[in-house]
Structure 1
């Protein structure tokens, strides 16, 4: 399988970000744990994910902040959604029915201009979850595969205009519009216009 060098994000000196380095460090440790649990070498993971060994090594050592595209590939290999992976980054207690706004996990792909908030209270035994996504003007994120084949998604745009491509068809979504799809192949999310876009993503495991 051909492996790809996924570009590292540029340096970000925005002090307003709530300690992104700490989040990246915990994420790096979890990625290393998942590989070790399976007894895979970096070369084996590179073959399975299509990501180069050097990129994987830097991600596991916390030397680079992983992009959404890279995490999506690893989620596919490890058989979990991105919300579950990010939820595993912090020590989880017993599931709770209410997750306060201040406690919802936020992850940022600074290279792509994408901010992801896990809205639903985490629960490993349940199949549905809600995510809030924010794309900066001009943001363009392409996923070459779903994290879980056959994943059901509902994309409800709250603000701005979003273009979502699936099955080679692009859907332009304005505020209030909702797209429902089941994901088997590549998808692409693009922010149209100059005001950014905010949307709710409902995800249901098959």
Structure 2
């Protein structure tokens, strides 16, 4: 088994930063003056960036080099203990979110558990990353999920899979709470 290096994590992070902004390789090339082929090779981890290249990328991504490197220097724990999974509650909307498997350099997926009380209704106007892959698996109850205008009713044990291009709406039609897992995979 090959050990993941800082360069491996940096390559993944550079690709993720570009994806978060919805930029193509051509867009980034025009912003940095770095060739499309070099950017592609950097993101695939085939070459390591020079300080000059990294400086130009940091300018495009509006972060310092030290901030970028701090994001990739130490790999987070592989095992995420239940007590270390952050929980966020929005009491006003009736939504609870537990981050089961947080983002990690070198990995493209994460797992989130959501809970909605009956009648809870959450709308997201746009995807955080266009083309984001999601798998929504309902564990208990019924979830009404609208993806880019398409409405789906998902029952316990069922899974909806899609790429996120537009807005989404998560609604619990009731009468019971709904608990579901969202598997998120970066494009």
- Name the counterpart of 2:164: 183
Candidates 78, 86, 99, aligned match of 1:118:
99
Match of 1:132 in 2: 113
State the 1:128 CA deviation.
0.5
1:121 deviates by: 4.7
Task: Mark the runs of 5 or more structure 2 residues left unpaired by the alignment.
Answer: 1-60, 62-70
**Aligned to 2:146, what secondary structure does the other structure show?**
strand
Give the C-alpha shift of residue 124 in structure 1: 2.8
- Aligned-residue CA RMSD (Å): 1.9
From 153, 156, 169, give the equivalent of 1:172.
153
Shift, 1:94, TM fit: 3.8
Q: Deviations over 1:86-122 (max 9, x none)?
A: xx9xxx9641110111110111122211110010154
**What's the TM-score, normalizing by structure 2?**
0.59
The answer as to 2:86 corresponding to 1:105 is: yes
When normalised by structure 1's length, the TM-score is 0.54
Structure 1: stretches of 5+ with no match in the other structure = 1-77, 79-87
Structure 1 pair 93–192 and aligned structure 2 pair: CA distance change class (3 A):
farther
- Structure 1 segments, 4+ long, off by >4 Å, are none
Note the C-alpha offset of 1:178.
0.3
Residue correspondences, number: 117
What's the CA shift for 1:125? 2.9
